[in-house]
Structure 1
Amino acid sequence: MGKWHDDHSGRKWYDVFTVAGLRVDVIQPGHVLCSFTVPPRLANAGGRMHGGAVASLVDLVGSAVFFAGGSPTTGVSVEITVSYLDAARANEEIEIEARVLGIGGTTGCVTVEVRRKCTGEVLAHGRHTKYLAVSSKL
């Protein structure tokens, strides 16, 4: 397969390819704000951020906000939706902000906004519902 694949396999590959450079700016109970400069490797042929990369950030930051609220787990995704309104360009700085909408019983729901950092223009809006596994008391 080659050295690049050998050095970047599994989780390490995901970290290097997709989320390297993600910065956590604010972390509070129920709220996480990150910033990210879109690397060219995450852009499509038109030079705009690939929708799959946006969905990955919605998943990742949307999961992290549960930890910020004190949950012992990030849970298991039940549903992720993303509405794409515009696209960031390669080398453009964006913000990803997640907030807990609610946690009830064994499920939780968060909202995630992806914005152009310089203008605040919303590029994508995501919603992430998770099953928050309950550990056995036996």
Structure 2
Amino acid sequence: MEKKLSSMSPELYLKWAQEALSKGIAQRDLDNRAAQGIQILQLQKGFVRCNFIVPATALDANGKWHVGAIATIMDTAGAIAVYSETNRSKVVTDYNISYYSTAKIQDEIEIEGRVVANKGKLTSVMVEVRRKDNGELIATGKQWTASNDFRAPLGQPSKL
């Protein structure tokens, strides 16, 4: 989609983001499996709220939601929030996650990503992951992202 996201209506932006997720925005199989089934509920400038039902493909050997899959879905939500704020794809320069709990297959999860600082080329985003039924905190994460001023069309795989 060539149109700038900042000039899109909220409805069109939500449609674009949901289509990008369903097509596998990450262009990598592992990321796509970890985020399989994510649904965007609310999207506005600098903020995203998603629902997610933990699939069997995202479990560890003990049948719990794999911490790497949690990190991947947090990264996805953070990237969407940052892109909605800056209209740019950015690279993560610092990523800190605290895990408090986990989930099992078919547990319903809510993920929120919120931009907390936008300082030119640097943008910071906070992501929270909670159980939908009782609000129990599963993980929190903070990312700093940086722009490298490269503007490839969104959804186009890297040539690296």
Normalization by structure 2: what TM-score?
0.73
Moved >6 Å (runs of 4+): none
- In the TM superposition, what whole-angstrom CA distance separates every residue of 1:77-100 from its partner, at most 9, and x where no partner exists? 101111000001111010110001
Deviation at 1:11, TM superposition (A): 2.2
* Structure with more of its chain in strand, by fraction: 1
Residue 105 (structure 1) shift: 1.9
**Structure 2, gaps ≥5 residues long:** 1-25, 152-160
Partner of 1:74: 89
How many Å separate the matches in 1 of 2:71 and 2:139?
Answer: 9
| Contact persistence 2:36–2:55 (CA under 8 A) | no
Q: What RMSD over aligned residues (CA atoms) do the two structures have, in Å?
A: 1.8
How many residue pairs are counted as aligned between the two chains? 126
What SS does the corresponding residue of 1:47 show, helix, strand or coil? coil
Distance 1:128 1:114 in 2: 14
CA-CA distance at 1:13 after TM superposition: 2.4
Name the aligned partner's letter for residue 131 of structure 2. Answer: R
Distance 2:66 2:36 in 1: 16
The residue aligned with 1:101 is 116
Q: How far apart are 1:67 and its partner, in Å?
A: 1.9
Give, in angstroms, the shift of residue 58 of structure 1: 1.3
User: Could you say if the C-alpha distance between residues 48 and 135 of structure 1 is closer, same or farther in structure 2, counting changes exceeding 3 Å?
Assistant: closer
Q: Secondary structure of the equivalent of 1:11?
A: coil
Q: Distance in 1 between matches of 2:43 and 2:37?
A: 17
SS of equivalent to 2:83: helix
SS at match of 1:133: coil
TM-score, structure 1 length as denominator? 0.84
Letter in 1 for 2:29: W
**Structure 2 counterpart of 1:51:** 67
Residue identity matched to 2:35: V
* Fraction of identical pairs, as percent: 32
Range that drifts further, 44-53 or 13-22: 13-22
Aligned position for 1:29 = 45
Structure 1 residues 11 and 92: alpha-carbon distance in aligned structure 2, compared to 1, 3 A threshold: same
Shift of residue 132 of structure 1? 2.0
Give how far 1:44 is off: 1.1
Which amino acid in the other structure matches residue 89 of structure 1?
A: K
For residues 133 and 125 of structure 1, what CA distance do their matches in structure 2 show? 26
